Amino acid sequence: MEITWLGHACFLLEQDGYRIVTDPYTGVEGYPPLAVEAYAVYCSHGHFDHNAEACVRLLPPRETPFAVREIPCFHDDQHGALRGPNLIRVFTAGGVSVAHLGDLGHALTPELLEKIGTVDGVLVPVGGVYTVDAQGAKAACDAIGPRFVVPMHYRHAPYGLPNVAGVEPFLALWPSVHRLSGRSFAVTPQTQGVVVPTF
């Protein structure tokens, strides 16, 4: 599987030429307008910075190598009373499973952890305010136990929502951080620790 960070909480997942886009955004400060092609698009919830499906041009249908599991949870720590529902999705292809946590806003319960199951990677929001913060994101990753983690949904000026934190508080909690020179990487057996794409 190849993973490309398209900015904010949006990723392109590719396997055998099949392309999936998660959480396409619009109107997020600093990022250029999103323009991408894919066979399928998935949104964790209905907010503008996660559900801009019109920014994804759908390619003609073909058989997908991806299996997709959905785990309902919440955008806040009050059972959705503040910001509504959120969907965690686990994408599996080519022997690799990756969980996109969307705008997770609360600690993971044992029931949610059981539903997520064993995954190789986690795409986790870390900026706080609208999602878990650095400590909450680290706790979620520790509970899930993936071999690699990619932070998302943070401010890195001039990019990102202006009132969320940057990525550094999250990275400071990890012993192993790999900063990429670009936005894409192929998942291999050696992919471990925190992987930080560069926009």
Q: What domains, with CATH codes, occur in the chain?
A: 2-196 (3.60.15.10)
| Predicted local confidence at residue 118, as pLDDT | 97
Q: Which two three-digit tokens encode residue 171?
A: 């990275």
Portion of the chain with pLDDT greater than 70, in percent: 100
Q: Which two three-digit tokens encode residue 72?
A: 């309902």
| Predicted local confidence at residue 128, as pLDDT | 95
Residue with tokens 């930080």, as numbered in its chain: 196
Cβ-Cβ contacts under 8 Å for 183 (sequence gap 6 or more): 4, 5, 6, 197, 198, 199
145 burial via Cβ count (<10 Å: 0-12, 13-18, 19+):
exposed
d(CA 44, CA 51): 8
| Residue 101 CA neighbour count, 13 Å, CB half | 32
pLDDT in tens, 176-194: 899 999 999 999 999 999 9
d(CA 178, CA 132): 22
Residue with tokens 């066979």, as numbered in its chain: 39
Q: Does the predicted model carry a pTM greater than 0.75?
A: yes
CA distances from 9 to 4, 12, 64, 136 (A): 11, 10, 22, 17
Q: Which residues of the chain have pLDDT under 50?
A: none
d(CA 123, CA 141): 9
| Predicted local confidence at residue 127, as pLDDT | 96
| Predicted local confidence at residue 97, as pLDDT | 98
| Predicted local confidence at residue 81, as pLDDT | 84
